[in-house]
Amino acid sequence: MGNLVEVAKVGELEPGEGKFVEVEGKEIALFNCESGYYAIDNECTHVGGPLCEGDIDGDTVTCPWHGAEFDLKSGEVLGPPAEEGLNTYKVHVDGDSIKIEF
- pLDDT tens-digit readout, 73-82: 999 999 999 9
Nearest alpha carbon to residue 8 among 29, 34, 33, 35: 29
Q: What is the pLDDT of residues 9-40, one digit of tens each?
A: 999 999 999 999 999 899 999 999 989 999 99
CATH 2.102.10.10 fits 4-101, yes or no: yes
pTM, two decimals, is 0.95
- 31 burial (CB, 10 Å; 0-12 / 13-18 / 19+) is buried
Domain range annotation of the chain: 4-101
